[in-house]
Each structure stands twice: as structure tokens, then as C-alpha cells.
Amino acid sequence: MTSRSDNPERALRDSLGMFATGITVVTARAPNGTPVGLTVNSFNSVSLDPPLIVWSLAAHLGNVEVFSNCEYYAINVLADDQQDMSQRFATRDIDKFAGLELRDGLGRAPLLNDCCAWFECRNTIRHDGGDHLMFVSEVVRHTHEPARSPLVYFGGQYRTLAR
Ligand SMILES: Cc1cc2nc3c(=O)[nH]c(=O)nc-3n(C[C@H](O)[C@H](O)[C@H](O)COP(=O)(O)O)c2cc1C
């Protein structure tokens, strides 16, 4: 058992890192049409009826306003060959959408190519979640590619499933 008392935040991150997740890119459009997006692994399912999902956004990030006020956003679930996409959308101050082919989802939220699944969500409920803002939203449209495998995040590293 490991728990580093000298750095409680690091210890919490390490323990949380034992929970394997998929990786998503959450996207929306600013009112002026500019696409915005970031890499997110806090995505999860909440409810089937009504169909609700959750994810959380660090409250200090620049796009909090856009995500708080947009009517729709999209969750792009990354496939196991999209590690570079995860890195790109986790990098600050670059043109994240440069050179990407996009489709427009509801509210013109950008849909990325070659993902495992896509969820188009109506931005309904937001909760204060400490240093994050939690979004609980209704899934309005969704689709998936059963032949693709997901990119996995575990222990702070990217993994792929053994096929
Ligand atoms: C694997 C991974 C998962 C992440 N999950 C989240 C998350 O759930 N919520 C969040 O706010 N940031 C998360 N981030 C960090 C953001 O992607 C990163 O801060 C990004 O640069 C934010 O976009 P911005 O700089 O354009 O605001 C994650 C990063 C990585 C690499």
C-alpha cells in the first residue's frame, strides 16, 4: 500500500490514477464560430432514462465561459490510435484544430474523425465541484464504431487493450 503523506495532492492523484478511464475530447463552438476543445478523462455515464452524462472542467481554464454558455457540446471518445489527438487537445496555446477534418454536430460542435464514439449533448445542468465545474448533460444524439478499440488512461499513462 502506498500513500505519500509529504505531498497529499500527489498522493490523491496517484490513487485516482488507479482508476482506468477512456479519453475524450470535448468540443463546442464559441459564439463567434471558433471551435474550442480539450482532452477530458472525467467523462462518465450517469443515467439511461433520462440519458445523462457527466464530465468536469477545471475552473481556471480559459474556455469555461464558452462551455458554460453553449447550447450543445460534443464528446469525442478517442480510439487507441489517437494518442496524438489526446496530446494535441491537452496542449495550451496552440491551434488545436489546425489541419483536422471536422463534421459539425448539434450547435456546430466539432465532431472529430476516426473516434470510437460520439455523444452530442444539450448543456443543461452545471454544478460547482471544488476547483472544477461539473457538467451533467442530456445525450441528444450518439453513435459508435464497434470495430474500434478505445484509448485507455491508467497510472498517468496511455494504454491500449490487448486484442
Ligand atoms: C489524459 C488527460 C485527461 C484530462 N482530463 C481533464 C478533465 O477531465 N478536465 C479538465 O478540465 N482538464 C483535463 N485535462 C487537461 C486539459 O486537457 C488541458 O488543461 C488543456 O490544455 C485545456 O485546454 P486549454 O488549455 O485550451 O484551456 C486532461 C489532460 C489529459 C492529458
Q: How many residues does the chain have?
A: 163
Domain definitions of the chain by residue range: 21-145
Q: What are phi and psi of 150, to 5 degrees?
A: -85, 155
Of the residues 16, 21, 38, which should be mutated to test ligand 1's pocket, given the most ligand atoms within 8 Å of the CB?
38
Quote the CA–CA distance of 147 and 144 in Å, as a whole number: 9
Spacing, Cα 69 to ligand 1 middle (Å) = 19
The whole-number pLDDT of residue 163 equals: 75
- pLDDT tens profile 43-87: 999 999 999 999 999 999 999 999 999 999 999 999 999 999 999
- pLDDT tens profile 7-33: 999 999 999 999 999 999 999 999 999
Q: How deeply is 48 buried, as exposed, middle or buried, from its count of CB atoms within 10 A (0-12, 13-18, 19+)?
A: exposed
**76 pocket-lining for ligand 1 (C-beta < 6 Å):** no
| pLDDT surpasses 80 at 3 | no
Determine what percent of the chain is predicted with pLDDT higher than 90. 95
Closest-lying ligand 1 atom to the alpha carbon of residue 21: 1
* Helix, coil or strand: residue 14: helix
CATH classification (class only), 21-145: mainly beta
